[in-house]
Amino acid sequence: MIKRFPGKFFLLFTIMGLINIFMKPILKKQGIEGFVYRISGNQMPSPNKKPSTPKGTKTTIYFYELTNINQVTKPGSSPFYATIKTKFIKKTESDSSGHFSIQLPAGDYSIFTKKDTLFYANWFDEKNNIAPAKVVSGKITKVEIKVDYDAAY
C-alpha cells in the first residue's frame, strides 16, 4: 500500500508561490493601456449646458509601427485612412467601458481604430506622425483614444 504524503502538495504550492513572487519583478509588463471614448453630437461650449462625459466604447484597436502622414492613403482631408503602409504589429479589443491593455515591445507605435473598412486616428505629433505612442522598456504607456468623427466642435 502506497502512503500518501499531503506535504508534497504543500511543498509544491509553496515552491510555485515563491517562484511567482520572485519572478514578477523580472517579468515586468510593458506596453500600452488606456481607454477608448466615443464622442458624438454637438460638443460646442454653452453657458447653459455642461459638457457631456465621454462614454467608453467596445472596439478593436490596431497598433502599427510609427506611421507618418506620408505613409498612408486617405480619402480627401479626413482623419480616415484607406491603407497604412507601415508594418502591422498587433491588435486588441477594448471592453464595454472602453478599457484596453496590450503588451508590446519597447518602441514607437501609431494607434488606429476602424469605422467600417477605414482606419481612424485624429491626433499627430510635431513631425506629422499619426496617433503616436512610445513604449519604454518595463513601463506601461497610458493613452486616451477619442473616436469623435461624429462630433461637432
Is 20 a domain residue? no
Residue 17 has pLDDT above 90, yes or no: no
Range of the domain at 78: 29-152
Which three cell numbers, joined as nine digits, stand for 65? 509601427
pLDDT value at residue 82: 97
Taking 60 as the threshold, does the pLDDT of residue 13 lie above it? no
**Per-residue model confidence as pLDDT tens digits over 47-78:** 887 777 888 999 999 999 999 999 999 998 88
Identify which has the larger pLDDT, 152 or 59: 59
What CATH code is carried by the domain that includes residue 38? 2.60.40.1120
Number of domains composing the chain: 1
Tell me the residue type at 110.
Answer: S
**Separation CA 135–CA 28 (nearest Å):** 13
Give the separation between CA 109 and CA 62, rounded to whole angstroms: 10
The whole-angstrom separation of Cα 88 and Cα 97 is: 25
Residue that wins the pLDDT comparison between 95 and 2: 95
* pLDDT tens readout for residues 114-130: 999 999 999 999 999 99
In a domain, 123, yes or no: yes
Share of the chain above pLDDT 90, in %: 63
Domain annotation covers residue 7: no
Cβ–Cβ under 8 Å, residues 124 and 73: no
- Alpha-carbon distance values, 64 to 44, 77, 120, 131 (Å): 33, 21, 13, 10
User: Do the Cβ atoms of 62 and 88 come closer than 8 Å?
Assistant: yes
**Is 138 inside any structural domain?**
yes
Is pLDDT above 90 for 33? yes
Is 56 among the domain residues? yes
In-domain check, residue 41: yes
- Higher-confidence position of 22 and 33: 33
Q: 10 lies in a domain? A: no
Write down the mean pLDDT value for the chain: 86
Q: Per the domain annotation, does 114 fall within a domain? A: yes
User: In the chain, pLDDT over 70 holds for what percent of residues?
Assistant: 81
**Is the model's pLDDT at 2 over the cut of 60?**
no
